[in-house]
Amino acid sequence: LTAFANKLLLDLMFLRCLADGRGANISLHRWVGCVTATQRDRQELVDRKTPSLVLEKPLDRESVKSHVLLLTALDGGKPPRSGNMTIIVNVSDVNDNPPVFSQESYTVSLKENSPAGTTVIQINATDLDEGSNGEVIYSFGNHMEAQIRERFSLNPVTGVIVVTGALDFEECSRYEIDVQASDKGTAALKTDKTVVVNLCCPIYRILIL
């Protein structure tokens, strides 16, 4: 295109969208730019030799990953001659989406004296970003009480919470476990959630002789 632009006097530049229309900023067969060159503009283009493509709206990779544009250059002859070039704009990912938990709240009932290794619940969160920006790991909240850490453990990969200590209804009938989902981006984004564990009240049977 540079060699072509050196020889031609550019009167018009057209950018035509050939994408599939999924994005809000670009739709199928929509003209996104049309510049009519004045005498001064033409001279500026000749001096510059190469036209510039300028972004007018923010791009969202999660909506449209790639944009396909057609650049048409026309000279001032009669009839005018033209040349085309396809421009593919691939939108790279930035870590702009935090993990999102699959549920608004997590509440579970558990029998007291459940043995160590008993699965309490599995939490799940997803991230729309790509690569490490979209990989989610789980952990307990930074300010969670020590007694809860002694009684429960959380798998950082699967999000499974299991019993690790003795659960006594008389000692504590309700646990609020603060959990956190974070991605692996350079500047990690985090989302907090609370898992409520209610211990079931034991039922005592009285035998009358």
Structure tokens at 182: 């974070």
Does the predicted model carry a pTM greater than 0.75? Answer: no
Q: Right CATH number for 2-90 from 2.60.40, 2.40.160, 3.80.10, 1.25.40?
A: 2.60.40
CATH top class, domain 100-200: mainly beta
CB 154 within 8 A of CB 160: yes
Closest C-alpha among 154, 152, 146 to residue 181: 154
Domain ranges of the chain: 2-90, 100-200
Read off the pLDDT of each residue in 16-44 and give the average, rounded to a whole number.
41
Identical fold between 2-90 and 100-200: yes
pLDDT digits (tens, 9 = 90+) for 97-154: 999 999 999 999 999 999 999 999 999 999 999 999 999 999 999 988 999 999 999 9
Q: Given a cut of 60, is residue 205 above it in pLDDT?
A: no
pLDDT digits (tens, 9 = 90+) for 59-93: 888 889 999 999 888 888 889 899 999 999 999 99
Q: Given a cut of 50, is residue 26 above it in pLDDT?
A: no
- Burial of residue 45 (CB within 10 Å: 0-12, 13-18, 19+) is buried
- Burial of residue 65 (CB within 10 Å: 0-12, 13-18, 19+) is middle
